[in-house]
Structure 1
Amino acid sequence: MKTIRRVLYPFSLLYAAVTGVRNFFYDKGIFKSTAFSLPVIAVGNLSVGGTGKTPQIEYLIRLLSNHNLKLATISRGYKRKTKGMVVATPMHTAADLGDEPFQFYSKFKDLTVIANGNRVEAIQYLLEQPKCPDVVLLDDAMQHRKVKAGFYVMLTAYQDFFYSDLVLPAGNLRESKCGAKRANCIVVTKCPSDLTNIEAERIKNRIKKYAPQIPVYFSAIAYYTYIYNQKDQQLLSDLKADYVLLAGIAKPEPFFKHLKKENTLLLRYPDHHNFTTQDIEDIKQKASGKLIITTEKDYVRLVGKIPQNQLYYLPIQATFLFDESEAFNQQILRYVMPSI
């Protein structure tokens, strides 16, 4: 791996130079960046996938909904089969919207969900509606600089820190590490629940080399104690060990580790995988009638293709460590509602 990185490193320098010039042009106003009158929160990262954006956005949806704010999310809708702007309705599927937007729409009934790579167009559409949202949440928009968000939540995954990585193609960074300075806060995601204060301070000190004035928070993934489908729920502790685990997400290891028993069959697919008819037949054959537990993202792509009584998903939530939720919440709410 080190040899490959050394070979690719010159290309990473070129990639970093190109993205650096692009950011410079946006910073100086040479490239147009549109700001809007309503609060816009962008959730993103510097790296390619797997940092936990979906549970973080869902955390923000719950937080802001609890303050009676009308919300909209805008996502690119990665690997969706439609083009242009799609405003979610009950007629749409995960194939129309993309798995993450469809998941948002399925879970939060008062949420406006839009799939559109052109975030400027999508926000302008929202502003023209009779019931314009109070807050817009942009999914995976750290590098989408055509919109000037009012608040940036940057995520970096534990043990996959941006400060230890390289720019593409030698590493996984979409831009140089100094891009962290654009964030209003940085959340270290997927931390172990027993993370120590000493380790947290060490991580903060590394981050502050690139973003010295930015608040840093630590979060973990909390797994539900039940698995669900459209009609049923089952307590995990009541399940027999003889089930199948299926995941088509960027980094499925924590999901597998949480549920895996001795001899559990693991079915792995690429991130955002579009399950073909042949895939479904292979899954059914390998599962051989056993219960299939998958992630929530995969469930929205598999529901209706596998017998309902056989397919379940395990929900997750982002939860803050060290009693930091109040500080994070207040930072978000002060931006959205400055008068509080």
Structure 2
Amino acid sequence: MDLNVIEEPKVRPVRRKRLAKGARFIGVGSVAPTTTLSNDDLSAFVDTNDEWIATRTGIRARKVLQKDESLTAIAAEAGKRALEMAGVAAEDVDLVLLCTSSPDDLFGSATQIQSAIGAKGAAFDLTAACSGFVIGLINARQWVTDGKYHNVLVIGADALSRYVDWTDRGTCILFGDGAGAVLVQATAGDDDRLLGYDIRSDGGGYKSLKAPLQCTAAENAGAPPRGSFQPILMNGREVFKFAVKAVPQTVSASLEEAGLLTDDIDWLVLHQANQRILDAVAERFHIPHEKVISNLANYGNTSAASIPLALDEAVRGGKIKPGDVIASAGFGAGLTWASAIFTWG
């Protein structure tokens, strides 16, 4: 897979199987922790400062969970807010899909969220790091278009502050916590609002961004070793190079499937990882700054939560309106990357 080759999207006949149902995206909600950790706060315990961080990342502050708070709680509240906007009762949700790399329980948190919001259908976790929410939306659309489910609640939530080495300024400055959710609902088959999508991965890039398992000797002699995860390890230079090549490539592929050009994009809503990446992708597609949704300065990189957090603010703030065409892409550990072109509402 050659990430150096990025072709301009071109209109072509879209050869898509006629679906029994279509999908629409009708409710969004988000929640961030109340505790703010600013760049100045970080400078008290790691060798950095506000200017150094903001210049390199665009981040000014991030929200972090405290010891007595849970990812499950904020994810459930984000889901409730999305259902309220959509006008859908929790008991009518057929599937809760939690996209996260940092659940409160090793076995996943989706079922706890399902119980907390009062849903009666199925629930499971999906792990694809910062690409998780986009991949979750695509999966949800597959579930509703075959007629099996009518309402799928997709939640992106992460608390990577719990897995950061707070002495490593290369990573600790980046990550914050949060949750966001979107309701995906079945429509008539000729009204499918997911216009195009693309999912890719390259395990050869795993070493550039990871939080690997480590085993330590058990306290009892002869017992198997105990497992835990190392803090996040990242080669920032390599991840940046990967992102500025991979994101335009995957967005181009989705545009081509949709039969659209970049001029048709109303809003670019990318994973909020680094402002320089957002700017580079927008420049690559000649998308003006005012069409790029960015809230990175206030939240940092919230992994799978970043896109629905940004989407929620833009919808509730009146920027994104029903019928607008959104180009979205996630990218990160795995390495994974994915994009989707969809209309809102």
State whether TM-score is above 0.5.
Answer: no
Question: Greater CA radius of gyration, 1 or 2?
Answer: 1
TM-score after normalising by structure 2: 0.32
Task: Report the TM-score when normalising by structure 1.
Answer: 0.32
Instruction: With a CA cutoff of 8 Å and minimum separation of 6, indicate the structure with the bigger relative contact order.
Output: 2
More strand by share: 2
